Homo-oligomer: A and B are copies of this chain.
Amino acid sequence: MPTQTRSDQRRARTRAALIAAAQKLLAERRTNVPVLEITRLADVGLGSFYNHFTDKDELFETAVDEALERFGSILDLLSDHEDPAVVFGQSLRLTVRLCRREPALTRVLLHRGLEITVADRGLVPRARRDIDAGIAAGRFRNTDSRIAVSIVGGGALSLAALLDADPSLDADAAADDFAINILCMLGLSDSDAVEICRMNLPDVDDLLVRTESA
């Protein structure tokens, strides 16, 4: 554990304030703002910006990466289950529920958009691992997991955009329906998929609290 001097802490605070401001702006799709506006929102001096980042692009990229990590670390808390279809179903249902619970974080991800589903960080590698496990166990159809994961990722993002655009939609029902669709796609019968998506799910708020400290 590297000793955190008071200087380091101060530095980290400033950096975090800048990133939080960037995430706020990303959620509003306003990335084309002067640096001064960012530092005002972060409540730090203009010069501090250049202490931490070389330009706006670098800041915004960092802000998206951190949001992705947050999402991923929440899903990592999901307890295991012997049936890979159950594991994946839980992940899907939880991910979509998280989008409703964390709209600001979700909008940050939506801004980066589809590049996320191509990336080799965040949620995609987790999904690919789960799908491959299901195929290996004979629980899923034998299919190209790169393409399957692409559909799942794009579908999840697209559904997140839909939930964001229409607050009147029932997010829990949409999440379960999404999971049913994906499980059917992977070869489960309609009834099997429905059954899995009726199982108990860990409390979303509880998971959020448990990852906040990180």
Contacts and interface: CB of A to CB of B under 8 A. Distances in A.
What is the total number of copies of this protein in its complex?
2
Interface string A173-214: 010011011101111001000000000000000000000000
A205 B88 CA distance: 40
A178 B151 contact: yes
Contacts of A141: 184, 190
Interface in A109-168: 110, 113-115, 117-118, 141, 143-144, 146-148, 150-162, 165
B159 A147 contact: yes
Contacts of A180: 143
B162 A118 contact: yes
A147 B178 CA distance: 7
Contact of A150 (B153, B162, B184, B187): B162
A54 interface: no
